[in-house]
Amino acid sequence: MRYALVLVNIKQLGVKTFSYNIPPEMDEKIQIGQPVLVPFGRQGLVNAFVVGFTEYVPDGIKIKKINKILDETPLFSIKYLKLLEWVANYYCTDFVTVLNAAIPMKLIEKNAKTEYSVELINNNYSGLTKRQCEIIEQLKSDGKCSLIDFESRAKTTRATMKKLEEMGYIKIATEYVYRNPLTIFKDVPIEPLFELSEEQEKVYHGIKSKLRSPHPLLLHGVTASGKTEVYFKLIKDVIESGKNVLFLAPEIALASQLTKRLARKFGIRDVAIWHSSISDGEKYDVWQRLYKNEIKILAGARSAVFAPLQNIGLIIIDEEHESAYKQTNPAPRYDARVIAHRLAQFHQAPLLLGSATPDISSYYYALNNNNLFTMLKRYNNAQLAKPEVINMQEYGKASYRGIISKPLQNEISEAVESGKQVILLMNRRGYSTYTQCKSCGSVIECPDCSIPMVWHSDGKKLKCHYCNKELAMPDFCPICGSDALSNSGSGTQKIELYIKELFPQYRVARIDSDILTKKNAHIELLNQFQKKEIDILVGTQMIAKGLDNPNVTLVGVISADTGFSVPDFRASERGFQLLTQVAGRAGRGEYKGKVLFQTYNPDYYAFQSAKSQNYEKFYETEIKARQEFDYPPFSKIARIILSSLNNYRAEKSAMEIALRLNTMIDKFGFGEHLEILGPSPCIISKINGYYRFQILIKNKLFQKGHDFISKFLNGITLPKDIKMAIDIDPSDIL
Ligand code: ADP
Ligand code: ZN
Ligand code: ZN
């Protein structure tokens, strides 16, 4: 007797597996990966996936029957489940958590048809109702086609849509026969690939000779050296050999840009995009096409490592140093680079990493495995702008309220007056940094988190950047009652306002995560900036990456010190990367670029290397420090966070676990190779009312140490009031 193990997604229970009887008529057809319908308690019939088979079920349980196979085409294979199982083991989390992150559960909810693909046919709309006009307007602003979510709107929308179709204004495609939006773009002729330059050609052949390496290959090329064109040539070869390519970018905006570029070179029918915010219909569509091997190139953000691309011949991870490849919260806290490596091994395909500022560990491994390829010149010898440093100790006081120095002001107006565009980086959102009482010195903190609240002039509120709590500005200091509260420091909002005040005649816009209340608002602004509708773009690190606008001649960093002082072993690396990346936005075309860093610490080493744009020099200093203190790549780090609403309880459980861990380590004689740090309060010691303590494990035994640690962690049971988060290879330790 064989039973099916199915995975069910239930509101109160979350995602879980249960056993079901297989009716005889289904026995031949049923397969792993199929979506099915099963009876579930009082909920009636619910959607589920077949994830396995079992011969045994616990005694005394009444087994119900599978009601229906919703779709005989499976959505994933056993091999795919094996990969997820590996991920669960590696990240010390359970299989279902990984499955839930990997497979969009909405995929199986086929009865909930919520989306339509709509094409605008006629846009002369005299005589239409207001609602009808609104819909047409939306279609127009989204381009030729748009998705209308009927569930989130009034029922009448559906009627309106039908009416519009009857009147010949639009054409509605069938429900869920949703075509990847790329195929709805105008089918433009395919552009030929560029002839590679001598340097590119050399790197291309170098990479070709290493495609069988089991270790990642790394292409270190300065910004605009033409890495992407090298990738394209490699992609072409892979596709011609009949295999497929997975191409990851660190975030959605970059993935979208990349997809367009790929579609122009390889044709829209072979290219698809995958990231967390494509719509459910689109996910369903792309997923099926991937599974049926109808897509040759999949571009996407980190979650695309879980998309079921078949027959992979090459995986490329661009801007591989970006921490966005690591999911920090919630679990699974996976790193797309680690999974991609596994996936590549699975398919016996090469993994190619690329960056202008590689991750220190990636560089170290590539160097030692002889898998490093370098391009140190920009394509066509365009000049890399050498950043100049403005020492704010000299300029800060005398100039414009100490925020934008006189020299930077002058450069800004010179650039804009000559029709060029400017990027100003301020890597902190909000208006100010903190609000302080001038009489007793206390800083206003979030009542639930141990960090200062940040004043936002936009909504006239104090906001917590961790839990999003908002408070009105108090009239009096909560500690001493004085009314001398003042905002100090600056964030993007303040810079934006200052710039607008300074240059009322220029068009200024701001990009940071606060503007993301509207989905993809930043993509819209970036498009406007590309079209020269914005003169000055102020923003956080969101504007430092990927922007390829040849009309940008000036990049100013308002406070280049921000970031270097964070108490994390990667602070210098991150600071260096950010400054180098943002500097790379200047002078990408025929116009010479200029980069200005405002700083209070002009002598700091990471800062000096960023200034000279010298990655090797930075690497040499940094790798020595890593070795001295046993940080990655000389160890692997596991981080355990214990948290509780009760400070004492959190600390106590952290201490108990650390003690047990130390005892075990001694018992196994691993003392020299597994170093325990803590427990200590996390640097952000309270978030959302939860007190947080952390234990860091520096593991110098690598795989063997990892196995030991995960075994130990799997054996832990905790009281209900204590939460444990395990972060393997954490991207930060705050
Ligand atoms: P990177 O990926 O290193 O930042 P890109 O590949 O985007 O650099 O190249 C920067 C610019 O130079 C792009 O506009 C690209 O089209 C152009 N370019 C690069 N290589 C070539 C080439 N061989 N022929 C013509 N244009 C090129
Ligand atoms: Zn006070
Ligand atoms: Zn908070």
Question: What kind and span of H or E run contains 240?
Answer: helix 227-240
Mean per-residue pLDDT, 555-583: 86
Query: Can you tell me the distance from the alpha carbon of 194 to that of 133, in angstroms, rounded to the nearest whole number?
Result: 44
Residues with Cβ < 8 Å from 187, sequence gap 6 or more? Answer: 268
What pLDDT does residue 154 have?
A: 37
584 in ligand 1 pocket by Cβ < 6 Å?
Answer: no
Q: Which atom of ligand 1 is nearest to the CA of 195?
A: 23
Per-residue pLDDT reduced to its tens digit, 146-170: 444 433 333 455 667 777 778 877 7
Query: Can you tell me the distance from the alpha carbon of 454 to that of 428, in angstroms, rounded to the nearest whole number?
Result: 10
Most confident of the following: 55-69, 596-610, 648-662: 648-662
What pLDDT does residue 379 have?
A: 84
Q: Is the pLDDT of residue 7 over 90?
A: no
What pLDDT does residue 478 have?
A: 87
289 in ligand 1 pocket by Cβ < 6 Å?
Answer: no
Most confident of the following: 445-449, 483-487, 511-515, 616-620: 616-620
Atom 10 of ligand 1, residue of closest alpha carbon: 224
Which of the four pLDDT bands, split at 50, 70 and 90, describes residue 17? confident
Mean per-residue pLDDT, 208-223: 95
224 in ligand 1 pocket by Cβ < 6 Å?
Answer: yes
Looking at every residue in the chain, the average pLDDT score rounds to 86
> Are 203 and 219 a contacting pair, CB within 8 Å?
yes
Which residue type sits at 471?
L
Ligand 1 pocket mutation pick from 235, 379, 585, 591 by most atoms within 8 angstroms of CB = 379
Which residue type sits at 539?
G
Atom 17 of ligand 1, residue of closest alpha carbon: 226
Mean per-residue pLDDT, 516-540: 87
45-49, 169-173, 304-308, 626-630: which has the minimum mean pLDDT?
A: 169-173
Atom 18 of ligand 1, residue of closest alpha carbon: 226
Query: Can you tell me the distance from the alpha carbon of 459 to that of 457, in angstroms, rounded to the nearest whole number?
Result: 6
3-state helix, strand, coil in the chain (%, to 5): 35, 25, 40
Atom 6 of ligand 1, residue of closest alpha carbon: 226
> Are 9 and 103 a contacting pair, CB within 8 Å?
no
Can you list the alpha helix ranges (DSSP code H) found in 280-356? 280-291, 336-347
What pLDDT does residue 519 have?
A: 67
Which of the four pLDDT bands, split at 50, 70 and 90, describes residue 727? very high
Mean per-residue pLDDT, 392-413: 78
Per the structure block, which two tokens stand in for 4?
Answer: 């099916």
- In percent, how much of the chain has pLDDT > 70? 89
Burial bucket for residue 699 (CB in 10 Å: 0-12, 13-18, 19+)? buried
> Are 4 and 53 a contacting pair, CB within 8 Å?
yes
What pLDDT does residue 186 have?
A: 57
Query: Can you tell me the distance from the alpha carbon of 502 to that of 413, in angstroms, rounded to the nearest whole number?
Result: 10
The three state secondary structure string of 700-727 is: CCCHHHHHHHHHHHHCCCCCCCCEEEEE
Which of the four pLDDT bands, split at 50, 70 and 90, describes residue 391? confident
Atom 24 of ligand 1, residue of closest alpha carbon: 194
4-18, 31-45, 316-330, 649-663: which has the minimum mean pLDDT?
A: 4-18
At what angle are helices 615-628 and 605-612 packed, to 10 degrees? 160
Strands (E), 133-178: 145-149, 170-172
Strands (E), 592-657: 594-599, 636-644
What pLDDT does residue 378 have?
A: 85
Query: Can you tell me the distance from the alpha carbon of 171 to that of 121, in angstroms, rounded to the nearest whole number?
Result: 7
Per-residue pLDDT reduced to its tens digit, 53-102: 988 887 877 889 999 888 888 888 888 889 998 999 999 998 878 988 88
Q: Is the pLDDT of residue 364 over 90?
A: yes
Per-residue pLDDT reduced to its tens digit, 476-526: 998 899 988 888 888 899 899 999 999 999 999 999 888 777 767 888 898
If one compares 339 and 541, the residue with the highest pLDDT of the two is: 339
556 in ligand 1 pocket by Cβ < 6 Å?
Answer: no
Query: Can you tell me the distance from the alpha carbon of 512 to that of 524, in angstroms, rounded to the nearest whole number?
Result: 13
Cα of 115 vs centre of ligand 2, distance in Å, is: 54
Mean per-residue pLDDT, 18-45: 89
Cα of 452 vs centre of ligand 3, distance in Å, is: 9
Mean per-residue pLDDT, 638-658: 95
Mean per-residue pLDDT, 588-604: 85
228 in ligand 1 pocket by Cβ < 6 Å?
Answer: yes
Query: Can you tell me the distance from the alpha carbon of 571 to that of 733, in angstroms, rounded to the nearest whole number?
Result: 10
Strands (E), 571-616: 594-599
- Report residues near ion ligand 3: CB below 5 Å: 446, 448-449, 464, 466-467, 469
Q: Is the pLDDT of residue 698 over 80?
A: yes
> Are 467 and 688 a contacting pair, CB within 8 Å?
yes
Cα of 379 vs centre of ligand 1, distance in Å, is: 6
Closest CA to 110 of 22, 19, 36: 36
Cα of 682 vs centre of ligand 3, distance in Å, is: 15
Query: Can you tell me the distance from the alpha carbon of 486 to that of 368, in angstroms, rounded to the nearest whole number?
Result: 53
Cα of 225 vs centre of ligand 1, distance in Å, is: 6
Question: How long a stretch of residues is the chain?
Answer: 734
Q: Is the pLDDT of residue 117 over 70?
A: no
Mean per-residue pLDDT, 713-734: 91
What pLDDT does residue 401 have?
A: 56
Q: Is the dihedral of CA 35, 37, 40, 43 positive or negative?
A: positive
Question: Which ligand number lies closest to the CA of residue 445?
Answer: 3
Question: How many Å from the N-terminal Cα to the C-terminal Cα in the chain?
Answer: 52
Cα of 196 vs centre of ligand 1, distance in Å, is: 9
Closest CA to 327 of 344, 302, 349, 346: 302
Residue 203, CA distances (Å) to 197, 234, 383, 652 in order: 10, 11, 20, 55
254 in ligand 1 pocket by Cβ < 6 Å?
Answer: no
- In percent, how much of the chain has pLDDT > 90? 47
What pLDDT does residue 149 have?
A: 40
Q: Is the pLDDT of residue 299 over 60?
A: yes
> Are 197 and 350 a contacting pair, CB within 8 Å?
no
Q: Which atom of ligand 1 is nearest to the CA of 375?
A: 3
Which of the four pLDDT bands, split at 50, 70 and 90, describes residue 666? very high
Residues with Cβ < 8 Å from 369, sequence gap 6 or more? Answer: 213, 215
Which residue type sits at 171?
K
Chain Cα centroid distance, residue 459: 27
What pLDDT does residue 722 have?
A: 95
Q: Which atom of ligand 1 is nearest to the CA of 197?
A: 23
> Are 77 and 32 a contacting pair, CB within 8 Å?
yes
Q: Is the pLDDT of residue 673 over 60?
A: yes
If one compares 443 and 418, the residue with the highest pLDDT of the two is: 418
Task: Say how many CA atoms lie within 13 Å of 421 toward its Cβ.
Answer: 26
Cα of 552 vs centre of ligand 1, distance in Å, is: 16
What pLDDT does residue 88 have?
A: 92
Query: Can you tell me the distance from the alpha carbon of 576 to that of 564, in angstroms, rounded to the nearest whole number?
Result: 8
46 in ligand 1 pocket by Cβ < 6 Å?
Answer: no
Sheet holding 636-644, edge to edge: 674-687, 690-699, 636-644, 723-728
432 in ligand 1 pocket by Cβ < 6 Å?
Answer: no
Per the structure block, which two tokens stand in for 109?
Answer: 């909810």
354 in ligand 1 pocket by Cβ < 6 Å?
Answer: no
675 in ligand 1 pocket by Cβ < 6 Å?
Answer: no
Query: Can you tell me the distance from the alpha carbon of 34 to that of 71, in angstroms, rounded to the nearest whole number?
Result: 6
Residue for token digits 């509708």? 533
> How many CB atoms lie under 10 A from the CB of residue 714?
11
392 in ligand 1 pocket by Cβ < 6 Å?
Answer: no
Cα of 445 vs centre of ligand 3, distance in Å, is: 8
What global pTM score does this model have?
A: 0.84
What pLDDT does residue 12 have?
A: 66
What pLDDT does residue 112 have?
A: 40
